[in-house]
A = this chain, B = another copy of it.
Amino acid sequence: MISLVLLGTGNLAKHLFNAFLGIEEIKVLQLIGRNEDQLNYFKNRVVTGTDFTKIVDADIYIIAVSDDAIASVATFLKEKKGLVVHTSGNVPLQSLGDQNKKGVLYPLQTFSEGRKINFKEMPICVEAEDKKNLDLLKKLAGLISLEVHEITGDQRKSLHLAAVFVNNFTNFLFTIGHDICTEHNLPFSLLTPLIKETVNKLETLPPIASQTGPAKRNDLKTMESHLDQLKDKNYQDIYSLFSKLIGEKYGQKL
C-alpha cells in the first residue's frame, strides 16, 4: 500500500486523482488546494482541505500545481518524512527544497477538462535522488501506467521542449488549417483523415522519411501560389519559414 497526499486542483490533479482512485494498492489520504470551488470536484471522494499547514503524513506527496507555485507549496512539506514530488516538465528537482526527499513524476501528456486519458499507455517519466525513492516512484507510476521511464532532469527538460513542438505548435498549425477552411466554407473535418494518416505514418517511418510537399520538392510555382492565397501576414511568415527550413533540410537552395 502506498499512501498519498495530492496538492493541487487543476486538470492534472484531477486526472491523477481519478487514475489513483481505481487502484487497490494506492490510498489517497488527502487532497489540498487553495481553490475552494475546484475542491468541490473531489469532495465526497477524499478528504479535502485548503490549509497547507494541515497536511497529514503520507509515503508520497504529489505537488500538481503551476510551475511558479511548486517551490512555495514544497515549503509546507519540509518537516515531512515522505517523498515530495512535483509533476512539471521544466522545473528542476532542486526547487523542492533542501530538506525534503525529492522526486519528479512527469506524465507526458496534454490534459484537458473532461477528456479521458488512457493512463496505461501514457509515458510517466520518473526521477529521484536515490535508488530507494526511485523504486518507490516507479512502483507508484507502474500501478497506473505500463510506460514508466527513468530519465534525468536534462532529459525531462528536453522532452518538455519537444512536447511544445509536437503538441502546442502542431495544434496551432491545425488552427491555421481550421481558419483556412472556415474562410472558404469548408468543413475542417475534411482534413482529419489526412491529419490521422500524418500521425499513423510515424508507426512505420521516422518523420524525416515521411516528408512530402512543395517545399521538399522545391516546387516554387505551388509555393508562390500558396503564399498569394494567404491573406494573414502571420500565416505567410509561418509558410515561408517552414518552406525555407524544409528546403534546407532536404538539400534545396531556396
Report A's interface with B, CB cutoff 8 A. 67-68, 90, 108-110, 112, 115, 117-118, 121-123, 125, 147, 149, 151, 154-155, 157-178, 180-181, 183-186, 188, 190-199, 201-208, 210-216, 219, 221-222, 225-226, 229-230, 234, 237-239, 241-242, 245-246, 248-249
Contact = CB atoms under 8 A, between A and B. Distances in A.
Contacts of A165: 173, 176-177, 180, 238-239
Main secondary structure of the interface of A (DSSP, over half): helix
A94 to B, nearest CB: 14
15 contacts: A115-B201, A121-B193, A149-B190, A158-B180, A159-B184, A159-B186, A159-B191, A167-B195, A171-B207, A171-B210, A172-B246, A172-B249, A177-B207, A188-B206, A192-B203
A193 B167 CA distance: 11
Given A161-B229, A191-B108, A194-B163, A173 B184 contact: no
Nearest to A91: B222
Contact of A117 (B109, B160, B197, B213): B197
Given A149-B190, A193-B108, A164 B213 contact: yes
